Amino acid sequence: MAQMTMIQAITDAMRVELKKDEKVLVFGEDVGVNGGVFRATEGLQKEFGESRVFDTPLAESGIGGLAVGLSMTGYRPVMEIQFFGFLFEVIDSVSGQLARQSFRTAGKLNAPVTIRSPFGGGVATPEMHADSLEGIVASQPGLTVVIPSSPYDAKGLLISAIRDENPVIFLEHMKLYRSFREEVPEEEYTIPLGKAAVKREGTDLSIITYGAMVHESLKAAEELEKEGHSVEVIDLRTVQPLDIETIIASVEKTNRAIVVQEAQKQAGIAANVVAEITERAILHLEAPVLRVTAPDTIYPFAQGERAWLPDANDIKETALNVLTF
Amino acid sequence: MAANKKTQFDPVQTLQEVEEKFEMLQILNEKGEIVNEDLMPDLTDEELVELMERMVYVRVLDQRSISLNRQGRLGFYAPTAGQEASQLASHFATTKEDFILPGYRDVPQIVFHGLPLHQAFLWSRGHYLGSDLPEDLNIFIPQIIIGAQYIQAAGVAMGYQKSGKEAIALTYTGDGGTSQGDFYEGINFAGAFNLPAVFIVQNNQFAISTPRELQTRGKTLAQKGIAAGIPSILVDGMDALAVYKVTKDARDRAIAGEGPTLIETMTYRYGPHTMAGDDPTRYRTSDTDDEWEKKDPLVRFRIFLEGKGLWTEEKENEVIERAKEDVKEAIKKADAAPKQKVTDFLEIMYKGEMPYNVKEQYDIYKAKESK
């Protein structure tokens, strides 16, 4: 075991997979000799060589095309989109091509591609770096979308993502890259995709969340505990497909739920979670399922982040509304 | 205007000089005469005959496909008549190891690479078994998103380069497709990584109704290769020998580790853009059609082969009959394909275990289908 930040755990996962499977290739803008703009691929090119870990021209669409073509010839690409706001340049390769590859070839040419990309607010990035666009890819059949919130989860989930035979979007929240350390095993281990984690057990309210909002939710839960409310916090870890069993079991126990996301209300995946709970557990609900989200504007100018991003206070307020409904 | 003033710096002249370099390469003229003996490709008599057979076969395939489409027995179909030299002579320069990434009009190439004809028909109709690719067949299904096949070709070529395979990725787009970002990114990536890829632009003069002049001010499309720093060439796309020659040379260079090539084939489609209601008389004159019909790739290659005593009317009729027979058989086989079910679609979404939502829907549809 070692104390790792999330970014170190991510690097470690790629190291494990590069070592284990010679078909794994890591590429993107500045991921080679530079080790990535966040050091996520630090040391990997040195260890595995330029044919395994390499830089590309500055063109997201071309990077997506490389991944598609490499997957057709038996490789297992781990491509990086420098910031997920740049998704729009490569949306055809992601949603129009990779997601459909198995289907459109009747299952003959699957696409074992992992797309890593940082996102997320709170670190005053310039325009189109921090946007939460997971809702866009979550709505595309054929894609799995993973968002870890801790170093331990990040490593196990990334190894699973790379080994998955289908395209997986792996979104890394920038604020969580180095915000804390955690014990992470040095050997390989996996965490199944599509499985949520109960980060805190409780009996009065379920908070269902993911990404940086997991930590805000845990903070809110602690405060609520002081006021006599026992709150369960579920970290989805995979936002598509959802772990219905864990979500519903929790709601059936607590009878009250809120869904918390950093994305705008009209975006993200919170509405999906609400719909699933409504369809499957309405008779267990003592109150409507409310959402904590960002407002429906474009992602804010850097100095406005604090006012705009949802935080523990917003979560606590909504939780109390549901608890006292 | 500084037109009179001689400077060391003349971008206008630079452009003119560059564009003048892209002369159209021709080996066989419209009369079936060899006009460029030095460039004659190294093809045996049998190979020359085989190439003619393929071109005749595809002309028949096109006529039959149009008629089957009109009868409602085929679905999406993009006519190919006129482009036989461009499509089949370029493909003739490949081996089975090469990977073909076709556009939506490039069905003939993948059929001759090994896709069974009935599957091509199923693809046209919209049946998943049309793209149930046979094992070891190095193709992708026809790409509908114009340009996507170009960036993907770079990826396939990189895969081949990494595994040390002596093979290329060959891809096709049209004149309109050269305006796409993915067209440029594809050739540029292939150049930057020195990949074994051959990019063909089939300039058939029109992107649906939009004439090629409206796509770009560039005098040729071949010159776009300069932006990627890769060799490029303009070739008479109605001349099977010239198309074969430049593709073969490009393949040889790629295999030798010398990187990609961009080839513009100057060609024409006699038919509409697709069979989905496009009417070329709205945007093309019969004069233009007549002019291009004189350039027919079959006519000149036929004269050439007849002159060598390699082709007869009888032989041509044999090919025509064989093609018609094959089409009939293939349609019959396509008709026999099972009706598609939702559970089929759910099953081919993911390799391995179905995610919960797909599994849940699979069970629901399975129950419906067994009623």
* Residue B268 sits in the same domain as residue B371: no
Tokens of B16: 């003119």
Q: Is residue B1 part of a domain?
A: no
Is B77 a known active-site residue?
no
**B242 and B355 co-located in one domain:** no
Give yes or no: residues B141 and B158 share one domain: yes
Cis status, amide bond into A57, omega within 30 of 0? no
Q: A293 — alpha (psi -120 to 50), left (phi > 0) or beta?
A: beta
Q: Is B273 a catalytic residue?
A: yes
Report whether pLDDT(B3) > 60. Answer: no
Q: Looking at this protein, which amino acid is placed at residue A104?
A: R
| Strand arrangement, sheet containing A76-80 | A53-55, A24-28, A76-80, A114-119, A168-173, A144-146, A238-240
For residue B14, being part of any structural domain is answered with no
Are B236 and B369 members of one domain?
Answer: no
Are the Cβ atoms of A69 and B185 closer than 8 angstroms?
no
User: At a CB cut-off of 8 Å and minimum separation 6, what does B87 contact?
Assistant: B58, B80, B106, B108, B109, B172, B202
CA distance B83 to chain A (A): 26
CATH number for the domain that contains residue B112: 3.40.50.970
Instruction: Please name the residue of chain B whose CA is at the shortest distance from the CA of residue A73.
Output: B159
Contact at 8 Å (CB) between A78 and A127? no
Q: Is residue B7 part of a domain?
A: no
Cα–Cα distance measured from residue A33 to residue A22, given in angstroms and rounded to the nearest whole number: 19
- Residue of B131, B137, B152 to mutate when probing chain A, most A C-beta within 10 A: B152
Please indicate, yes or no, whether residues B324 and B345 belong to a single structural domain of this protein. no
In a domain, B50, yes or no: yes
Query: What CA–CA distances, in Å, run from B2 to B9, B11, B18?
Result: 11, 12, 21
Q: Judge whether B11 lies within some domain.
A: no
pLDDT reported for residue A190: 98
B358 and B291 fall within a common domain? no
Distance (Å, whole) CA B102 – CA B138:
11
- In the DSSP assignment, the letter for residue A96 is I
Confidence of residue B6 (pLDDT cuts 50, 70, 90): low
B128 to A102, A320, B204, B354: CA distances (angstroms): 11, 52, 30, 19
Q: How far apart are the first and last CA of chain A?
A: 45
pLDDT reported for residue B8? 78
Report the Cα A209 to chain-centroid distance in Å: 11
The mean pLDDT of chain B is 96
Spatial CA neighbour of B226 closest among B178, B187, B174, B179: B187
Q: Are residues B163 and B205 in the same domain?
A: yes
> ipTM score of the complex?
0.97
Q: Are strands A257-264 and A24-28 parallel, antiparallel or unpaired?
A: unpaired
AA letter at B249: D
B180 and B65 within one domain: yes
Cβ of residue B104 closer than 8 Å to a chain A Cβ: no
Q: B12 lies in a domain?
A: no
Asked if pLDDT for residue B52 goes beyond 60, the answer is yes
What's the pLDDT at A313? Answer: 98
Q: B248 lies in a domain?
A: yes
Supply the DSSP symbol for A300: P
Domain span at B159: 19-33+41-337
CA distance A194 to B317: 60
Please report the pLDDT score of residue B9 as a whole number: 87
Distances B296 to A117, B26, B32, B237 between C-alpha atoms, Å: 51, 14, 10, 10
CA A90 to chain centre: 18
Residues of B with Cβ-Cβ distance to A110 under 8 angstroms = 350-351
The answer to whether B104 and B77 are in contact (CB under 8 A) is no
Same domain? B165 vs B223: yes
Query: In A, residues 170-209, which contact B (CB 8 Å cutoff)?
Result: 194
d(CA A9, CA A98) in angstroms, rounded, equals: 26
Q: What is the pLDDT of residue A1?
A: 82
From the list A66, A71, A92, which residue is nearest B148 (CB)?
Answer: A92
Kindly report the average pLDDT of chain A as a whole number: 98
pLDDT at A186: 93
- Cα(B270)–Cα(B62) distance, integer angstroms: 11
The pair of structure tokens assigned to B211 is 């004439």
Q: Could you give the CA distance from residue A117 to residue A145 in angstroms, rounded to a whole number?
A: 11
Cα separation, B232 vs B92, whole angstroms? 19
Residues B314 and B169 in one domain: yes
Band of the pLDDT at B319, cuts 50, 70, 90? very high
For A66, the closest of B148, B155, B357 (CB atoms) is: B155
Quickly list H helices, A117-191: 134-138, 151-163
pLDDT in tens, chain A (325 residues): 899 999 999 999 999 999 999 999 999 999 999 999 999 999 999 999 999 999 999 999 999 999 999 999 999 999 999 999 999 999 999 999 999 999 999 999 999 999 999 999 999 999 999 999 999 999 999 999 999 999 999 999 999 999 999 999 999 999 999 999 999 999 999 999 999 999 999 999 999 999 999 999 999 999 999 999 999 999 999 999 999 999 999 999 999 999 999 999 999 999 999 999 999 999 999 999 999 999 999 999 999 999 999 999 999 999 999 999 9
Element holding B210 (H helix, E strand) = strand B210-211
Average pLDDT (B77-86) is 97
Apex B43 CA angle, B150 and B173, nearest 5: 15
Chain A residues whose beta carbon lies within 8 Å of the beta carbon of residue B101: 69
pLDDT digits (tens, 9 = 90+) for B214-240: 999 999 999 999 999 999 999 999 999
Kindly state whether residues B275 and B359 are assigned to the same domain: no
What torsion, rounded to 10 degrees, do the Cα atoms A207, A211, A216, A221 define? 30
Inter-chain CB proximity A65 and B163 less than 8 Å? no
User: Number of folded domains in chain B?
Assistant: 2
Same-domain check for residues B67 and B192 = yes
Tell me, yes or no, whether B6 lies in a domain.
no
Count, in order, helices (H) and strands (E) of chain B: 15, 7
Q: What is the pTM assigned to this prediction?
A: 0.97
**Dihedral angle at the C-alpha atoms of A208, A209, A213, A219, nearest 10 degrees?**
30
